[in-house]
Every structure is written in C-alpha cells, then in structure tokens.
Amino acid sequence: MKININSGIIKIIISTILFIIALFFKEYNIVYFGLLTLSYVLVGYDIFIEAFKNLLKGHLFDESTLMIIATISAFIIGEYPEAVMVILLFQFGEYLSDMAVNNSKESIVKLMDLRSDYVNLKKGDKIEKVDIKKARVGDIFVVKPFEKVPLDGVVIEGVTSVDSSSLTGESVPLEINVSSLVLSGYLNGNGLISVRALSDESTSTASKIIDLIENSSEKKTNTEKFITKFSRIYTPIIVILAILLVLVPLMFGGSLEIYNALVFLVTACPCALVISVPLGFFCGVGRASKEGILIKGSDGIDGLAKIEALVLDKTGTITEGKFVVRKVASEGVSSSELVCLAAYSEYYSNHSIARSIVGAYSEKIDEKKIKNYKEISGYGVKASVFGKDIIVGSDKLMAMNDIDIPNVDSFGTTVFVSLNGKYLGYISIYDKIKDSALDLVFLLKKIGIEKTFMLSGDNADICRNVCEKVKIDEYYSKLLPADKVKKMKEIKKDYFTAFVGDGINDAPVIKEADIGISMGGIGSDAAIEAADVIIMHDNLSKIPLAIKIARVTQKIVKFNIIFALGFKFLMLVLAYFGLASIWMAVFADVGVTLLAVLNALRIMRKKI
C-alpha cells in the first residue's frame, strides 16, 4: 500500500510526540494538562470543523459528533490521556482507511488510464506534437510505434496491429489497415499509421469510459442507500442510549457512570459501514472494467447479481452482424440487375443488411439516380431508382403493398425486391454465429441462470436454427422494435431479466429490461446512453463473468455489513456491562474499519 505523506499524517505524528512528552510530566499538572490539550487540539480541530459543517447542512449526528462528545466528556471527568488517545487513534484509523480507499481508486484510474496528453498532428509535410485538447474532429494525426491512440478515428494510411486489452480485456492483437476504426486507448504496435479524427478529447471513447468509472458512485444501490439512512438514524439513537446509560442508574439511586457511556459512544462509531460498503461496490466496478466490462454504476452490480433470465437479440449479438449475400434469385431480370436495383434502393440505409447488399454491388453508385427514398423501420425501404418504383424488404412489406411473392425455403435472411408493384426476386443473406455464443448457455447454467430467450425480427426458421445451435430455451421471431418491448414486458413478469443487444437498434428494449447489456458498444453513444452494462468486446462469455463479479462483490459487501454490525453489537454489550475500556473501544472501531476496507479491496485481486 502506497503511503502518502501529507499534512494529516504530520499532525498525527506531532500530536503523538506531544502526547508521549506529556506522560513524562504527569506530576506537573499545568504542563501535563497543557501538552495533552495541545496534542488534542492539533489532531482534533478538523473533526470539530467537520462536525460544524455537517451541523450547518442539518446533519446533527455523525461519527465526528460521537468523537467530540466522547472526548470532551473524557476531559470533563479528568480522563485526559484517554481523550487524546481516542482522537489520535480515530484520526490514525481514518488516515489508514482513506489511504486504502485512495490507493484503490488510483489503481482503478491507472488501470483505465487510456487518455494521452498529446497528439501528433499532421500539418502539411510536418508533424507537430500538440496538447490533445487542441485537436478537433477531422484533424489528421499520426500514431507512432508503441504509442497510445489519442483519439477515435479511421485509418487513412499505414498498417499495424494494436493491443486493445485496456479497453476490451482481450489480449489478442487487432490487425489494423486503411479504413479500420481505431479507438482512443488502443496501444499501437510497431507500425506507423495516419488517422482522421472522429472525436476530440472530450468525446473520445477513452474519456467516456473514464468519466463513467469515476462517476460510478453516483448511481447507488439499495444497500448503499440503506447504509446512508441507517447511519443517520443509528447515530442519534446511540447518543440517546449513552445518555440513558448515565441517567438511568442515577434515577435508581446508583452512582454516576460516565466512563461506560463514553466507551459506548466510541464503540458505536459507524465508520466501518460508511467507508467499506461504497468502497466494495467501487472495487466491483473497477474489477469489471479490468475485464473489459463497463458497469455504469454500483446499482448495475446489484442488478447483475439478481439476474434470473437472459434475453438476447440475434443480429450483432448472437451472430456477428456481418452479413454476406449468399444467394440471388431473380425473375425477368438478371441477378446482377436485381442486386443493382436493391443496392441503389438500400444505399442510404445504415442497417447492416442494407450495407451487405450495397457491398455486394461492385459498381459505383450514382446518388443522382435515387429519388424519394423512404425507410420503413423494421420492414425495409422504398425508393425511386432510374425512374422506377422499387421496394426492398421483408415479406410483410410486400404484403403491405399487395405484392405476391413465392414461398422461399432458404436459410438466412430473405430480402424481397419488387419493381413497379411486381415481384422481381429475392436476395438471401447469411450471418455467422459468434464462436463465444456456442458456450454461452452452458456458462450461464453453470452459474445458475436457467432461462434464456432470443428476440428477433427474422423468420421462425432462421431463429429456430440459431437457437438449436446455441441451445437457447425459447425464441420469438418476426418482431418489430415495438414488439420486442412488449415481449420484454411479458418476460419481466416472471423473471428478473437482462436484455443483451447491440445498443443501437435495441435501445428501447435495453431500457425496458431490468438491466440492459450492450455488446461491443465502446464506440457507440447510443450503447453508453441506453445500457447499464457495456461489454467492451464482442465476447458473450464476458456476460457470465460480469454476473460472477457482481455476486462476489455483493457477497463481500454483505459480509462486511454483518461483520461490522455483529462486532459493534458485541462491544456495545461489553460496554453496557462495564467490561470494555475506552482503549478497547477505539482499537475495535479502527480495527473493524480497516479489516472491512481490506476485505473490500480483495474484490480487485480475488480469482473469479
């Protein structure tokens, strides 16, 4: 653990020295009292300031209040060394806890230190190294061998390989050439590449990810909210009980027992819970990021741990989303003419199926020949091409336009084409299943996720074939985006459900699910906006790993809560019966806090 020498530890050291010196002057009351008071004030004045600030905010009782009441009372009854030692040990425990927390946060930020401070801008024939904040979208920059890619962009010159593990958790190098997309945070190999920037410093993928990690504590779990409320109620109750511990014996003719009440107050300090619970969730988020899993907040940890059923999109999630034209069947025109008309019609669409059809057409497309383009979401497109009315899309779109089509027995996605209201043929498109999808259901069942569903816009034959290969339990086919949302609502009635999609077309369903997971969405604003969890690589095996990390995190957090409360309760009972000293109480408070913090930090290193 890295030790930070700051003003806090210096004050503790000086105060400790004054305390030790005071013990040698015990027979000289004024010097003895003066040195102990100076030691107390030096190390404790910031606690008074903190308590005063909290008082102005309306927080009357907190751990600072407990320490002040306990130590001032100790001074009043003449227990000067105990008062100083309590405040010293309390501050030292706070310092050690803060150091552990800060080191944890620094290690996570360092782990996600994806950003570069500079960019090699290309200006004419010269390369100028400038502050990354001066770079703009559209600038051309150079990435030299073994440098970090500073901004998201598209390669316009050069060939290399990059290490994407800091973003995706995957160690296999990516081969990069002209037209490849590179993301900020990639580590370049031994090639030299020129890149056109698609982002600036503030909008780069690296910045988005780091901001989400650093702000993950803003989205709190029910456990964290409970601990916050609990400490606000718990502390005043403890103060009242301590007062009763003094008053009740007096009411029944007993002696004044302030010391036991002071032990009671010090023992009750809720530091272990207040510090270790948020730290545990933060470490869970950090551990996940190390594995290429971006969880947007600690409530995402909570949601992952509760998943009972997984619902998946097909295209781009279970399958690669890289469509290839597999078959062309035409009537009345040649196959090349059919592909030409379909490619022109689909030219303005961003759908992956449309891009595959455009890619299958080898000629250059003249945009001037395309008029009246209209995309019908979930169905297909209409356009005027070469002065002819073309419709390209699903069988539903053909039926909507009263176009008769034959029954097609073809594995893959079938896209029908019509010309001036008459059927012209179809194009069959194939999408390969991801290798990681083949083991997904096995891995899910291994960790207790028994139910899996697939939602798709494709026909039943395609869906059945995919589910048989991947061993998914149930599928629903021919669903439009609105149908997927409706089906998700039905599934949610029976299970706590996660939906896995590509984060763009499936954003409404991702938001509707109990927890939304986006695949390979590191470069997508829509994915980051819609999903609770982003798998930063197209590897479905990361989903069971994310669930396991969440469960381990929750297990450690719950243990810390039970351990802290159980130990506190034991010490409170001992304090009530006068069996504990104020020294024991302070050591117990500091010790429990440190043990809880160290246990939370195990999340970062534990084998999962």
Three-class secondary structure of residue 505 per DSSP: coil
Q: Residue 584 is part of which domain span?
A: 7-109+216-281+552-604
Q: Are residues 100 and 225 in the same domain?
A: yes
Q: How long is the chain? A: 608
Q: Is 298:220 a contact under the CB 8 Å cutoff?
A: yes
Query: Does residue 274 carry a pLDDT above 80?
Result: no
The whole-angstrom separation of Cα 304 and Cα 302 is: 6
| pLDDT, tens digit, 9 for 90 and up, residues 467-525 | 999 999 999 988 887 888 899 999 999 999 999 987 556 778 888 899 999 886 554 55
First to last CA, the chain: 23
Domain boundary among 430, 455, 472: 430
pLDDT band at 257 (very low <50, low <70, confident <90, very high): low
Same domain, 274 and 357: no
**192 band by pLDDT with thresholds 50, 70 and 90:** very high
Per the CB < 8 A criterion, the answer to whether 408 and 423 are in contact is no
Going by C-beta distance under 8 Å and a sequence separation of 6 or more, which residues neighbour residue 305? 547, 550, 551, 553, 554
Say if strands 126-131 and 140-143 run parallel, antiparallel, or are unpaired.
unpaired
Question: How many angstroms separate the CA atoms of 84 and 177, rounded?
Answer: 67
Q: What is the pLDDT averaged over residues 336-345?
A: 94
Sign (positive or negative) of CA dihedral 27, 31, 37, 38: negative
Encoding tokens for residue 10? 């210096």
Residue 339 is assigned to a structural domain of this protein: yes
In a domain, 332, yes or no: yes
Residue 465 lies in a domain: no
Any residues with CB less than 8 A from the CB of 476 and at least 6 apart, and which? Answer: 453, 454, 455, 456, 463, 483, 487
- Answer yes or no: is pLDDT of 345 > 90: yes
Weakest-pLDDT range from 64-78, 303-317, 592-606? 64-78
Q: Which amino acid is at 339?
A: V
**Assigned domain for 18 exists:** yes
Identify the DSSP state of 169. S
Asked if 152 and 96 sit in the same domain, the reply is no
Question: pLDDT tens digits, residue range 413-449?
Answer: 889 999 999 999 999 988 888 888 999 999 999 999 9
Domain boundary among 139, 169, 203: 203
Closest C-alpha to 93, from 505, 562, 598: 598
Q: Which of 430, 458, 481 is the endpoint of a domain?
A: 430
Q: Provide DSSP, 550-564.
A: HHHHHHHHHHHHHHH
- Same domain assignment for residues 171 and 225: no
Between CA 3 and CA 282 the distance in angstroms is 21
> Does residue 275 belong to any structural domain of this protein?
yes
**With contact defined as beta carbons under 8 Å apart, do 454 and 474 qualify?**
yes
Query: Does 337 lie in the same domain as 404?
Result: yes
pTM over 0.75: no
**Residue 296 belongs to a domain:** no
Helices of type H across 405-541: 440-446, 460-470, 481-492, 507-512, 525-530
Mean pLDDT score, 126-131: 90
Token couple for 177: 């050439």
Q: Are the C-beta atoms of 312 and 318 separated by less than 8 Å? A: yes
Query: Catalytic site residues?
Result: 313
Report the CATH number that the domain containing residue 374 is assigned in CATH.
Answer: 3.40.1110.10
Q: What CATH number did the domain enclosing 148 receive? A: 2.70.150.10
pLDDT of residue 223: 67
Q: What value does the mean pLDDT take over residues 580-588?
A: 73
In a domain, 437, yes or no: no
At 594, is the pLDDT very low, low, confident or very high (cuts 50, 70, 90)? confident
- Asked if residue 124 and residue 101 are part of one domain, the reply reads no
The predicted-structure confidence for 104-121, as pLDDT tens digits, reads as follows 556 555 555 667 888 999
336 and 380 fall within a common domain? yes
Q: Which residues pair with 425 in a beta bridge?
A: 330, 417
Q: Are residues 328 and 267 in the same domain?
A: no
SS3 label, residue 285: helix
Structure tokens at 504: 């763009």
Assigned domain for 350 exists: yes
Task: Please report how many Cα atoms fall inside a 13 Å half-sphere around the Cα of residue 40, on the Cβ side.
Answer: 23
What does residue 174 show for φ and ψ, rounded to 5 degrees? -100, 130
Using a 10 angstrom Cβ sphere, with 0-12 exposed, 13-18 middle and 19 or more buried, the burial of residue 562 is: exposed
Q: How many domains does the chain have?
A: 3
Do residues 403 and 335 share a domain? Answer: yes
- How much is the average pLDDT of 207-230? 65
Whether 234 and 272 map to the same domain: the answer is yes
Q: Which helix (H) or strand (E) holds 455?
A: strand 451-455
Work out the number of other CB atoms within 10 angstroms of the CB of residue 76: 11
Same-domain status, 85 and 224: yes
Structure token digits, residue 544: 């069971």
Same domain, 133 and 196: yes
